[in-house]
Amino acid sequence: MDIIEAVKTRKSIRKFKKDDLDLNQIKKIIEISINSPSGGNAQNWFTYIIKNKSILDKMRNEVETVYKQITGKDAPAVYAFFNEAPVVLAVVEKPYIGSLDPIIENADKSRSHDRKFIVNPGLQGVSSFITHILLVAHNEGLGTCWMTGPLIAKPEIESILGIKSPDNLVALIPIGKPVERQSKTSRMDVNEVIKIVE
Ligand SMILES: Cc1cc2nc3c(=O)[nH]c(=O)nc-3n(C[C@H](O)[C@H](O)[C@H](O)COP(=O)(O)O)c2cc1C
């Protein structure tokens, strides 16, 4: 698939066929996505590839429990369908320290804070990696959905997967053969998202 077609036709998939996936195909998707850019080429990402149904069910259960505790309501479908995919990726941000960061931290605490938590190059690198995964999976004929909603139960899911600080779970990506979605979400006009500075 050509890159433009891949970008234009990818869409979030929330219903999957029951078919099992070949783990080598998932590894190939990750291997290609590692070509993603990252701050200082830190490659500060890591991915759990979860196939175990009882672990996935446990994760969903935690999401539903925490959601109910917080809101008093049942979790909406967009938070809790991920365990219906044959494979779920749990993407982790590893610590990122830019070469100038220790110097900025000593010289200017406010700038250092903004760089770490507002600009957040570490998280930007992982986001780029996730984007690559979605597009490469789409090219392989697989559907995905980038999900942060379930991370309402972040500590509980991290505990199930054995993820410990400073590693930071940032997204789940269910992945599987798509049950096709007909509609495509709308997008802004290009002129709404640009300002030309001449
Ligand atoms: C950071 C981020 C978090 C998201 N979290 C969820 C989520 O928790 N559940 C969900 O169903 N979709 C989630 N999405 C998918 C968006 O809803 C979707 O990308 C958007 O509506 C555009 O639709 P499209 O991906 O089909 O083009 C998330 C997307 C991003 C980038």
Under CATH, which number does the domain 3-192 receive?
3.40.109.10
Question: 28: CA distance to ligand 1 center in Å?
Answer: 23
Structural domain spans, the chain:
3-192
Give residues (CB < 6 A) around ligand 1.
11-12, 14, 78, 145-149, 185
> Residue 110: what pLDDT?
96
- Ligand 1 atom closest to the CA of 14, numbered from 1: 11
Tell me what the mean pLDDT of segment 65-70 comes to.
Answer: 98
> Residue 183: what pLDDT?
86
Cα–Cα distance for residue pair 152/136, rounded to 1 Å: 27
- Residue 100, CB-side half-sphere exposure with 13 Å CA sphere: 10
Question: 105: CA distance to ligand 1 center in Å?
Answer: 34
Query: Please, are residues 80 and 63 in contact by the beta-carbon 8 Å criterion?
Result: yes
**Residues 72-130: pLDDT tens digits?**
999 999 999 999 999 999 999 999 999 999 999 999 999 999 999 999 999 999 999 99
Q: CA torsion angle for 164, 92, 89, 60 (degrees, to 10)?
A: 50
- Grouping H, G, I as helix, E, B as strand and the rest as coil, residue 188 is coil
Name the residue with the closest Cα to ligand 1, atom 22: 185
- Ligand 1 atom closest to the CA of 130, numbered from 1: 31
At residue 180's C-alpha, the angle toward residues 140 and 4, to 5°, is 50
Cα–Cα distance for residue pair 114/119, rounded to 1 Å: 6
Which of 12, 91, 131 gets mutated to test ligand 1 (max ligand atoms within 8 A of its CB)? Answer: 12
> Residue 181: what pLDDT?
74
Cα–Cα distance for residue pair 68/2, rounded to 1 Å: 43
Task: Write down the mean pLDDT value for the chain.
Answer: 96
The reported pTM is: 0.97
Res. 133: pLDDT tops 90: yes
What share of the chain has pLDDT > 90, as a percent?
96
Element (H, E) at 8: helix 3-9
